[in-house]
C-alpha cells in the first residue's frame, strides 16, 4: 500500500529537520530547483493532482493560470480545515510539518512566488506551533531565506492564525482575512490567480494538495497519476469517523471503493448488530449516500456515478450541478462520516443545517435568510413539531439558495438539505405525521 502524505505518521522524530532530512526530506526541493518552473507545473498537470480542499480543481492547471509576467505572486496554504468531519490536515501538519514546507517551496518556485502564507485555523495551537518551529529550522538550514539551498532563489514563509470562522476557509474570504479585512468572500471573477492577495496573482492550495508535490517531483507525474483513476491521481487522506471500528486518517488510493473504506480500512460497523444506514462521503456539505449506494469509487467522478441516486429538489425533479450534470455526491474535503441504523437522520440533517446557518457570513440574501429558515424548519421537524408542507417548503428554499450566492457556502447548505430530503424522505414524513 503506497503511503505518500501519511508516510511519517507515528514517527515523532520526523517533525525534526535532521530526521526529516535523513528520511530523504528536502531532496526533492533540491531536484525541483534544478528544474525549470514550467517543468514542475507540467509534472503536476501530468500527475492529475486534484485539490484536496473540497472543490477538486486540478492543481497544475490552477498554477498555470498565473500570468507569466507577474512581478509579485503569492502562494497561500489553506490550513483552515473547518468542514465538519474533516480532520486530516490537522494530522498531516502534526506528523509531517516539513513535508508541507517542502511542498510549498516547490509549488512557490513553480509559480515564481517568493512568499508563502500558511493560513491555519485558530484552534490548531499545536499545528501552528509545530509549523513555526519547522519554518525556523528551515530558515536555519537554508531552505528558506535569501537563497534556497544555495540556488539564489529567495523564499519567505509565514504562519497566520485564523480566528475560527468557517467561512475563512473559502479562498477569497481567507485572502480578505489575511489582509486584515472582514472575512467575506469576494465575487469571482477575478479569480485569485489573476487578482488575489493584496491584488496580486495568488495560488491558494490545501495542505494535503501541497504535501503531494515533493513525491510528484521524485517519482514523476505519470507514476502519481497511475495510483488513482482517470483525471484524478494519487492517494487521498480519508478522515473517517462515525460508527466504524477503526476511525482516523487512512490514506487510500483515489478511487478506492467507499465500501472498502468503511469495511476494510474502517474495520466495519462499530456494532455489528447495527447495519449501515448512510454515509456522508466528503464533509457535511456533500450529499449523503444510502447504504446501497456505497459500492462506488471514492473520487471526484462520484459526481457523475450512476450507481448513486440523483439528488432531487422535488420527486422527479433532479438538481443540476455545474455544466448541467446531475448532482450525486463527491469526496469533497476528504471526510467520510458513517452512520448506523440507530442514527436519527432528521436530527442529523437539522444539526448540519444549523452549522451552515450559523456560519453564513450574511453577505447574500438567499444564503443569509434561506439558511436560517431551513435551520428553523428542519429543527422543528426534528423536534416533532413539523407541519404539513414543511418538506416541500424546505426543498423550495434550498433550491432558491443553490447557484444564487457569492460563494459555495450556499450550496454547502442546499446540497445536504436536498440530499437528506431525497434519500430519507419517509423519515421526515413520519416525523411530521406524528406531529399532526
Ligand atoms: C465555505 C467554504 C469553506 C472552505 N473551507 C476550506 C478549508 O477549510 N480548507 C480548504 O483547503 N479549502 C476550503 N474550501 C475550499 C477553498 O475555497 C479552495 O477551493 C481550496 O482551498 C483550494 O485548494 P485546493 O485546490 O488545493 O483544494 C472552502 C470552501 C468554501 C466554499
Ligand atoms: S453564500 Fe453565504 S457565506 Fe457565501 S458570501 Fe453569501 S452569505 Fe456569505
* pLDDT single digits (tens) 178-199: 999 999 999 999 999 999 999 9
Q: What is the CATH number of the domain that holds 250?
A: 3.10.20.600
Residue 407 Cβ contacting ligand 2 at under 6 Å: yes
Residue 48 Cβ contacting ligand 1 at under 6 Å: no
**pLDDT 10s per residue in the chain (436 long)?**
899 999 999 999 999 999 999 999 999 999 999 999 999 999 999 999 999 999 999 999 999 999 999 999 999 999 999 999 999 999 999 999 999 999 999 999 999 999 999 999 999 999 999 999 999 999 999 999 999 999 999 999 999 999 989 999 999 999 999 999 999 999 999 999 999 999 999 999 999 999 999 999 999 999 999 999 999 999 999 999 999 999 999 999 999 999 999 999 999 999 999 999 999 999 999 999 999 999 999 999 988 899 999 999 998 999 988 777 889 999 999 999 999 999 999 999 999 999 999 999 999 999 999 999 999 999 999 999 999 999 999 999 999 999 999 999 999 999 999 999 999 999 999 999 988 7
Nearest CA to ligand 1 atom 5: 169
Instruction: Evaluate whether residue 329 is within a structural domain.
Output: yes
Q: How far apart are the first and last CA of the chain?
A: 54
Indicate the SS3 state at residue 318: strand
How many domains does the chain divide into? 3
Closest CA to 97 of 55, 159, 187, 190: 159
3-state DSSP of 45-70: HHCCCECCCCCCCEHHHHHHCCCCCC
Q: How far is CA 201 from CA 27, 40, 193, 291, 406, in A?
A: 28, 18, 5, 44, 20
Nearest CA to ligand 2 atom 6: 364
Strand partners, 78: 119, 206
Classify residue 301 by its DSSP letter: G
Q: List the domain range (segments joined by +) for residue 354.
A: 344-436
Same domain, yes or no, for 216 and 73?
A: yes
Cis peptide before 128 (omega within 30 of 0): no
Indicate the SS3 state at residue 374: helix
Distance 407 CA to ligand 2 centre (A): 5
Rounded-to-integer distance, Cα 269 and Cα 433, Å:
31
Same domain, yes or no, for 176 and 205?
A: yes
Same domain, yes or no, for 368 and 283?
A: no
Distance 429 CA to ligand 2 centre (A): 30
- What kind and span of H or E run contains 205? strand 202-206
Residue 52 Cβ contacting ligand 1 at under 6 Å: yes
Instruction: Evaluate whether residue 3 is within a structural domain.
Output: no
Give the residue from 314, 343, 372 where a domain finishes.
343
Same domain, yes or no, for 283 and 373?
A: no
Give the residue from 343, 362, 392 where a domain finishes.
343
Give the residue from 280, 309, 343 where a domain finishes.
343
**Half-sphere exposure (Cβ direction) of 267: Cα atoms closer than 13 Å:** 13
Strand partners, 240: 248, 336
Distance 130 CA to ligand 2 centre (A): 32
Same domain, yes or no, for 191 and 321?
A: no
Rounded-to-integer distance, Cα 33 and Cα 149, Å:
9
User: Residue 1 has what pLDDT?
Assistant: 81
Instruction: Evaluate whether residue 2 is within a structural domain.
Output: no
Closest CA to 392 of 344, 359, 432, 357: 432
Nearest CA to ligand 1 atom 14: 170
Distance 359 CA to ligand 2 centre (A): 9
Distance 168 CA to ligand 1 centre (A): 9
Residue to probe by mutation, ligand 1, list 44, 54, 234, most atoms within 8 Å of CB: 54
Instruction: Evaluate whether residue 300 is within a structural domain.
Output: yes
Residue 29 Cβ contacting ligand 2 at under 6 Å: no
Same domain, yes or no, for 349 and 298?
A: no
Among the atoms of ligand 1, which is closest to the Cα of residue 174?
17
Beta strands 235-242 and 248-253 are antiparallel
Q: Please tell me the pTM assigned to this model.
A: 0.98
Q: Are 412 and 360 in contact (CB under 8 A)?
A: no
Amino acid at each position: 500500500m503506497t503511503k505518500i502524505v501519511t508516510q511519517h505518521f507515528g514517527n515523532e522524530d520526523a517533525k525534526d529537520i535532521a530526521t526529516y532530512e535523513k528520511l530523504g526530506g528536502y531532496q526533492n526541493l533540491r531536484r525541483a530547483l534544478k528544474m525549470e518552473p514550467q517543468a514542475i507545473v507540467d509534472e503536476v498537470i501530468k500527475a492529475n493532482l486534484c485539490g484536496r480542499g473540497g472543490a477538486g480543481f486540478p492543481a497544475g492547471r490552477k498554477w498555470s493560470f498565473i500570468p507569466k509576467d507577474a512581478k509579485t505572486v503569492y502562494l497561500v496554504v489553506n490550513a483552515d480545515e473547518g468542514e465538519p468531519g474533516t480532520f486530516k490536515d490537522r494530522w498531516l501538519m502534526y506528523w509531517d510539518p516539513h513535508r508541507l514546507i517542502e511542498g510549498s517551496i516547490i509549488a512557490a518556485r513553480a509559480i515564481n512566488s517568493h512568499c508563502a502564507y500558511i493560513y491555519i485555523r485558530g484552534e490548531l495551537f499545536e499545528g501552528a506551533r509545530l509549523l513555526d518551529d519547522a519554518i525556523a529550522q528551515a530558515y536555519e538550514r537554508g531552505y528558506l531565506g535569501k537563497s534556497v539551498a544555495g540556488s539564489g532563489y529567495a523564499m519567505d514563509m509565514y504562519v497566520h492564525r485564523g480566528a475560527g470562522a468557517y467561512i475563512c476557509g473559502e479562498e477569497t474570504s481567507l485572502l480578505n482575512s489575511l489582509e486584515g479585512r472582514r472575512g467575506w468572500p469576494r465575487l469571482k471573477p477575478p479569480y485569485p490567480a489573476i487578482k488575489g492577495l493584496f491584488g496580486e496573482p495568488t495560488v491558494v492550495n490545501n495542505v494535503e494538495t501541497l504535501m503531494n508535490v515533493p513525491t510528484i517531483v521524485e517519482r514523476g507525474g505519470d507514476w502519481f497519476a497511475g495510483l488513482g483513476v482517470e483525471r484524478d491521481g494519487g492517494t487521498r487522506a480519508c478522515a473517517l469517523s462515525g460508527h466504524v471500528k477503526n476511525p482516523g486518517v487512512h490514506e487510500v488510493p483515489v478511487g478506492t471503493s467507499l465500501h472498502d473504506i468503511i469495511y476494510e480500512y474502517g474495520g466495519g460497523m462499530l456494532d455489528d448488530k447495527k447495519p449501515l444506514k448512510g454515509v456522508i462521503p466528503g464533509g457535511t456539505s456533500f450529499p449523503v449516500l444510502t447504504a446501497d449506494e456505497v459500492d462506488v469509487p471514492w473520487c471526484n467522478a462520484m459526481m457523475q456515478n450512476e450507481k448513486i441516486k440523483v439528488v432531487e429538489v422535488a420527486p422527479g425533479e433532479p438538481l443540476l450541478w455545474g455544466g448541467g450534470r446531475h448532482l450525486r455526491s463527491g469526496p469533497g474535503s476528504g471526510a467520510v462520516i458513517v452512520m448506523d441504523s440507530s442514527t436519527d437522520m432528521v436530527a442529523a440533517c437539522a444539526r448540519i443545517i444549523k452549522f451552515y446557518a450559523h456560519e453564513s457570513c450574511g453577505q447574500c440574501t438567499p444564503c443569509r435568510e434561506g439558511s436560517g429558515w431551513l435551520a428553523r424548519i428542519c429543527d422543528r421537524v426534528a423536534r416533532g413539531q413539523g407541519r404539513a408542507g414543511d418538506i416541500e417548503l424546505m426543498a423550495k428554499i434550498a433550491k432558491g439558495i443553490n447557484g444564487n450566492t457569492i460563494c459555495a457556502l450556499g450550496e454547502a447548505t442546499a446540497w445536504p438539505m436536498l440530499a437528506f430530503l431525497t434519500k430519507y424522505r419517509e423519515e421526515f414524513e413520519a416525523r411530521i405525521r406524528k406531529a399532526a
